[in-house]
Every structure is written in C-alpha cells, then in structure tokens.
Amino acid sequence: YILMYVIKDRHAVGNQIEIDESQDYILEGARENSTHTFLSFSRPFDTCDKDHDLPIDYDYIAVIWAFGEKDDDLENHFHNRGVYDAYLLDATLTPNLDELNSSEKSKSSRDLSLWTISMEQEIPAQDTAYICTMHKAPSHRTKQHIVGFRSVLPTELEVRHIHHFLLHRCVAPEGKDPVALFDQFVGQPGQECYVLTNPNPFPTQYCRQVAHEWAVGAYPIFFPDHVGIPLSESPNEYYLLQMHYDNPEVLSGLQLRFSLEVYYTSILRQHDLGLMYVGKATPGSPTIVIPPSELNHTVYGQCGSGCTNLMLPKSGIHVVAAKLHTHLAGRGMRLIHIRNNEELPWLSYDDNYNFNFQPIRLLREERTILPGDQLVISRCTYETTDRNGSVTVGGFSTRNEMCNGFIWFYNKLNGFAGVCSSEIRSETYKNFLQISNTTWSDARRENVVTAPRQNAGLLVSQAGNRIYWTIERRNQLQYYHRYLPQVSGCPRLLPDEQSELQLPARGRFSNRKRTLRRNALLDTSFKNEQTELVTMYPENIVPYSRPQLCTK
C-alpha cells in the first residue's frame, strides 16, 4: 500500500490544534516501523508569523510535543505529551559517553581516561547549604588535558536538591608542600563554606581558580579539539568541590549521592583552557536589590577595563564557551562586550532565561577580549511578581538572587585567579536604600544591617521592605543599578598572607578601615589597590541590537 505523509503548521488553543493561516513548515522526510514514526521537517529560523510561530534564535526554547491515540486524533493529549528544553542553535561536541564503560570503545574515545569524584552526603536541615570537600586528582608523569565533564545525579531526590557546584583548583604557595597543606582534608565529610573568615580549617585561600561549573539542568560538556584544561602539571594536585544544596522545605535526614566524571587525555591539545567568573560579587554589598512585584528590573555587574588591562595578556583571550547564571527570579541575561565605548555583538545572551536549564554553551565563533575591554556580564533582568510584595536581594539561597556568568577561554591570565566581579559602594546608593553599614551573618546567610539605628538588626531584605516603592523610586533604583560607579575587583591567583587587605571585608558595606582576613571562594579581595578599580557603564554608548531574522 502507499503511505501519504502530510505536515501542517498549527498552533494550540486549549486542547485543540488549530491550523495557521501561514504554512511555514516543509516535510523533508518520513518513515515508520512497528514501533516508531520518524519525521524530518524544516522551517525558516524566523517565519515572520508573529501570531503563532516563535523565532528560532539563541534564546531558550521549550519544544512541546504531543501525540494522539489514533492517526486522526488531533487533540493535545494530557498523557502523551512532554517538553524538551533546548538552545536549538547551539553546537555540541559530546560523544556517546556510555561507550567509555563498554568493552568495545570507539576510536574517538580510546585515548580518554576517566577520573570520577563520588560523594554521598547528608545535607543540613536548612534552606541553603554550601558544603566544601577536598579531592586529590590522579597523578601522571606527564601533563594531561581535561576535555569534558559529566555530572551524575542518580535519582529525582538529587535533581531536586543539588542546585550547582564549583570545582576549584588548589595551588600551594611557593615553599609549601601541597600534600601537607591539602591532603589532610581529603576523605573528610566536608564543611559549610559561604564567606569564610579566619580561623578556617580548610585552606580555601589557595583554591581560587575555578576549573569547572555545573548548575541545574546542564548536560555533559566536551570542549573543542584545540583546547583542554591542564591536569597533572605537578605531581600532587588537589581540587576543592563547593556544592550548593537547596532544601526549601528544611527536610532532615536527606542523604544525597553525586558523582562528577572528568574525562581527560594524554594527547595534549594546542591551548590550555581557562575559566573566568564574572558578574556581581556574591554576597558583596547589597547591590542586588529588586523592588517588590517587579516585571522587568535589570541589574548590571561589571568587569571593568582596569581589571582586563591587568588580567589579560597583550594578545587578549579567546572565548570558546559561556554560561549565564541567575536564580529563580531571573528572566533574561546578556554578556555584553564593550570596546572603545561601543557595544560589540554580545558574547552570549538569553532573553527567555529558564532557571531549570543552565548548560554550558559552546560559541559557534570564538570571540576575542582585549586588555582594556569592558565586560558588563550581567545585564540580568528579574521578575518578582510572585513574591508576596517582598524585596529580593542578592545572596546564596535560591530564593535570593545572583547575576553572574562564566567564560571558557585560552591564553593564560597574568597571574590572576580568573574572577572579575563588581559591587556598588557609593554614598548615594546607601542613602537611597537607607542602609549605611551591613555585615554578613553566617547564621542567617544574608547581610544584616548595622546602621542606621532604626534598621539595625534587620536583614537587608527586611530593610528594603520598609521602603515605599513608588514608581519614581523604582525608576531611580534602576538608573543607579545601571549608571552608578561600581568597584570592579580581580584577585590574584595566590594571596599574600602578610599584606592581603580588603576594602571592606567581603560581605560588608561600610567605610571602615581595611582589615586583614582570609578570603572566601570567589572573593574579590586583593594584594594592592591597583586590583580594585572603579568602573562605570557609559551613558553615551553605541548599543548593539539583536539581528532581525524576519526577511519578509
């Protein structure tokens, strides 16, 4: 018999599938067997059908599928349906990882070795927990290159409660034995690690370099063939794993399992791959403050030109991948690249951000960042209409907010840790928020107001709730978030314990004298004032506009 396949461009109205006036899909091929039906189709990236078709661009898109019980059943069924999260234009280089554990490895995977970091941990009965553990890397006689990662969350329990992690490379200072410094912590159950002050048993001040990042919804990542993350550059290498556990119901006795698969090769790539964290300092001063019931409030985090002048080699760095990160209120992000007062095409963007889908995104074309360029990573847009009229502030909890991102690049930095973040410290901003001093509270895991007296003892979010948020005040805060001067910080790879000072201690928001302290993970404290520089978003900048794909 002869089979006839037909494709129709439709849209959903309730449970019914209505035919579009504009038919923009072309059937390229079709076949079926006793169990499956296969369809291949095409359409323009932008069909110009603004009523019923979404453009296919670099934003997140949810591909919704459904099928009926019979061939002529055209209702949108409750049972036979699902959603596939995707960035449809993104590339992927990840091989079939299951072949690595099979007896017959493919030719492409025979040169790969596997290092697995496995953990089983009972998490505290609290809303948020950041727990650090120390791990020793495999030792080899010669340098290796890490080329890919896969995170394994074995059950739905881990999927619900593991929010993200950072893997930090630990570097012993000259004259100190890494085994003596780090090995004593390997195999220990770990400890909470937010803003780590002195004394602290874990030597986190030597673990500033981020080697890998994973967040909810991310899939395995393999990097392009010409880059790899260095491994076994010295006989004894150690890594600090910082896990963020999310427990909003404050459940007790949660035992979670997790493993990170690290794929590496002895066949060295052309370039060493590095990772840079950019955006708003966390928790920093209270520079992420989002008024209640906002639909479209935007925060800007900056890596200023002063920092890129210090950090980057003369030839610049070449970016191969990027990752954007906010928490639950995030609705859109852009990694903006500025040179000579002009916005270049964005390094990465997503104006339809989905918190539950945060993969590392390979760039289709490498981008070069030069010394003196400015990265306004985080043009982060938030919606807070579902928060019962409460202010949202920056912080570690998933219910707090972040505004940051990561870029993967090659060409080594000039002795810096690969962290470049910013915060607002101006008196104008403090007076506007009616907050002159704050200090970080480990117990409450948020900044606490210490002055003025009428707000002392309140969390920053509670103090924000005392403000009468008129339209004028909202607009004023939006202007401050974009244009007020920010302090952009870029710490060195190794601290100088005798002279490393911070202005002010991480998590404080004051004009007090500098004080000595050990720095936290992703801290922005520095050896000298040259690495803490004022930066501003240019008011007269030439903006970049998203390309229009509709050609009709």
Residues that are catalytic: 130, 325
123: left (phi over 0), alpha (psi -120 to 50) or beta: beta
The CA angle 242-244-248, to the nearest 5 degrees, is: 160
Distances (CA, A) of 6 to 17, 25, 30, 76, 482: 15, 11, 9, 18, 51
How does residue 214 score in pLDDT terms, banded at 50, 70 and 90?
Answer: very high
Q: What is the 3-state secondary structure (H, E, C) of 301-316?
A: EEECHHHHHHHCCCCC
Judged against a pLDDT cut of 60, whether residue 414 lies above it is answered with yes
397/292 Cα distance (integer angstroms): 18
Residue 168: predicted pLDDT: 94
Contact assessment for residue 360 and residue 324, using Cβ atoms and an 8 Å cutoff? no
Residues 6+ apart with CB under 8 A from 67: 77, 80, 81
pLDDT of residue 2: 58
pTM of this prediction exceeds 0.95: no
pLDDT of residue 497: 46
| pLDDT at residue 500 greater than cutoff 50 | no
Residues of the chain with pLDDT > 90, as a percent, come to: 63
Tell whether the model's pLDDT for residue 548 goes beyond 70.
Answer: yes
pLDDT value for 82: 87
Q: Which residue has the higher pLDDT, 64 or 136?
A: 136
* Positive or negative: CA dihedral 177, 181, 182, 184: positive
And the tokens for 316? Answer: 């610049």
Most confident of 10-24, 140-154, 369-383, 427-441: 140-154
The CA-based diameter of the chain, rounded to the nearest angstrom, is 87
Per residue in 246-271, pLDDT tens?
Answer: 999 999 999 999 999 999 999 999 99
Q: Which amino acid is at 245?
A: Y
Question: What does the mean pLDDT of the chain come to?
Answer: 86
Quick one: pLDDT band at residue 102, thresholds 50, 70, 90?
low
The Cα 102–Cα 118 span in angstroms is: 20
Q: Give pLDDT, residue 331.
A: 97
Provide the token pair at 246. 């999310």
Asked whether the predicted pLDDT for residue 351 surpasses 50, the reply is: yes
Contacts of 398 (CB under 8 A, 6+ apart): 128, 163, 246, 248, 327, 328
pLDDT at 392: 94
Domain map of the chain by residue range? 10-86, 92-269, 427-476+492-529
- On whether the CB atoms of residues 349 and 314 are closer than 8 A, the answer is no
Output the pLDDT for position 67. 77
If we measure between CA atoms, which residue out of 35, 257, 269, 299 comes closest to residue 144?
269
Q: In the chain, pLDDT over 70 holds for what percent of residues?
A: 88
**Class assignment of domain 92-269?**
mainly beta
- Report pLDDT for 108: 52
Q: H-helix or E-strand containing 474?
A: helix 471-483
pLDDT digits (tens, 9 = 90+) for 186-213: 999 888 887 544 446 788 888 889 999 9
Band (pLDDT 50/70/90 cuts) for residue 512 is: very low
Identify which has the larger pLDDT, 480 or 1.
Answer: 480
